[in-house]
Structure 1
Amino acid sequence: MPLEDYENQLYYSCIGCGSCRVGYKSFMPICPSGEKFGFDSYYAVGRLKIARGLLDGTVEWSEALLDRLFTCLGCAACNELCYHQTGMKPLDIIMEVKRQLVERGIAHPRNKGVAHTRHKEIIKNFKNYHNPYGRPSRTQTEECNQSGAEILYFVGCQRTWEAPQIVANETIKLLRLAEVDFCMLMDEWCCGSPLLATGHQKAAREIVKHNIEAIEKLGVKTVVCDCPTCYITFRDSYPNILGKELPFKLMHKIEYLEGLINSQKLRPVKEVPEKVTYHDPCTLGRLGKIYESPRNVLNSIPGLEMVEMPRNRESAWCCGSGGGVAFSYPDFATWTALRRLDEAESTGANLLTTVCPICEKTFVAALGTDKRAIKVCDVSELLLRSLE
């Protein structure tokens, strides 16, 4: 939606109260960029003032805005309290400003002083390999392009190349144990989220079109996404870009696994003697509103003790890798992840578990820079341990 369409919200809904700095219900610090860099312009409240200034001409479209806007993790923490108080979602406006910075040629790697030189590399990789990592697609398993199946397991580029790949294999094991008739894409492209998160909506259209056509050819009824970002991108961005609803039902992996447990197609019986704390991914939680499914799966596992971090559910602190920040500001991403690892260790848990490959990869990478006793794993790993 054009920035001009947010004029009433910017002038009459946002009163500059700063509630977007703290978590909904917890009232603890919640905006990583604001906490890291300190100035109002790194919080949603300041970013909305910038947007207002761009509308009335008191702020110029310039490179001076880039760090303020592109350090936004897109975690949607600012949306929670602000939406309940005013009915507005600051992240929508922030994303539109980012998009316009790209459209106007300001957020371009050729410009001197821009901290986003990797954006050019990402766009090149998408053109050549259809993913941000510049790696060729590869055959997955015997289920690839299998016709007649009603379920498609969409692995995502994180699980394919970046995050611990064993989790995708373990998810496949879980689906086979439950005797699910499923298929996978032989030539799976990235969902396009890195392009959308960095304001390159036009470049994402080809990705969106390809993925929908490839899935439609298989005739599946349900797409199960491993990655929460893929799930939200399919759910929210694809219909907007295509101008029509998705031709299939969409689920995140953890919802589907919970259903398999409830229907007793998966029966956790073996004890898993671990003390764990669960990290709510921003995309699955605040954007997807899926909070209880992962906890229900964890609570179904015998012997597992679960403890909550002080900031959980709507108030969860981000892992640090959203919004393209992992590419453009890796040190900031690590700083954010380490704060979350400290919080996880404060619970006394020996395992930090989640259901997001981006979060998992970010935490593991952060542990490589600053050692902690806590380990990181996916919920599906714990579930599989209770079955084998």
Structure 2
Amino acid sequence: METAMKSQAELSREVEELRTALQEAHAALDAIREGTVDALVVNGKSGEQIFSLVNSDQPYRILLEEMSEGALTVTSDGLILFSNKRFAQMVNSPLNKVIGCNLQTWVAPEYRKILESLLNMVTEEKHRAEFILVTEDGARLPVYLSIGNVKVGKEAAVFCLVATDLSEVKQIEKIVASKKMALAALQASQELQESLEESIKAIANTVESRDEYTAGHMRRVGQLAPAIAREMGLSEESIHGIALASTIHDLGKISIPVEILTKPVKLSKIEYQLIQTHVEAGYDIVKNIKFPWPIALLILQHHERMDGSGYPQGLKGEEILLESRIIAIADVIEAMASRRPYRTELGIDAALAEISQGRGTLYDPAAVDACIRLFLEKRFSFTLSPKSFSHA
């Protein structure tokens, strides 16, 4: 009888312990969803692992909350530890329902294996890919997903994800594709070429609507680059191609968060690395459009340098197209001569000194000489005023 009573007491105690554990689990989940905790301890194969949920850098957290892209922190199993409001809006779900659930809930079935494999890659390399999210009401949303790994312990790791809504981009791609199909039925002519160029410039206008500085910068580079080419004696056909490429050379910045493009202070290393991806994004947008000139390559190469110190491929000397070398100089001159979100303008004299100092090492010698002649002897000037920024 005593043994039976003892067993019953033990059973009651175990039930009470389970009830307490369940209550604690519910409380923890509510805290995670409401964002009121700083860290989460998870039992895994390697024992307890602590995941930080709140960055002590309050301004950075505010940036995450206010940015126009979705931002997430997830475990290698896909558990969402943090989500900003924008991601919740993208999947059309309450924020407290997003936090604490698995990211796979919002990923289209055909992309889940891909996401699983990316979350199992514990490397410092950043991964970027297009995905389809499925919203609360079943709609499919195309996004550009950037995934980065962050170590928080000896073995524990979390992943920081940024999801960019590609709905507008995909719509533009459909319009461009539709126009290409229509134009394919016509013979190559001046009218056809002008129509195609207008389609690309229409995409550049999308960049202007997001960031007026970038658009003004592209238009002014589009004035200087063909002027340098003409001073160098290039053919009018080549000059035409340079004019088009330079006018849309920063097209890929459509994939960069506006908050980073217009940030009024110096960018962090991670933010600068994200900015650098704009050349590849721009290349991807136009690579399948047939032009008489290698427009996609000119966009891809405009940050390469003669000594191989540029990006994204580290090309050297003649490996870089001459047209790209010309656009690179026009890009540097305009950027230094204009006011940036994080500094005042440095002026034309400082810009000319920069390309003179880098002549033959960073910049093409003939293009440097032609550019200097334009400003000092032929009094070249931009007809569009640079965009001014307030630091308020």
TM-score (normalised: structure 2): 0.30
Rg (Cα) greater in structure: 2
TM-score (normalised: structure 1): 0.30
Q: Which has the higher contact order (CA 8 A, sep 6+)?
A: 1
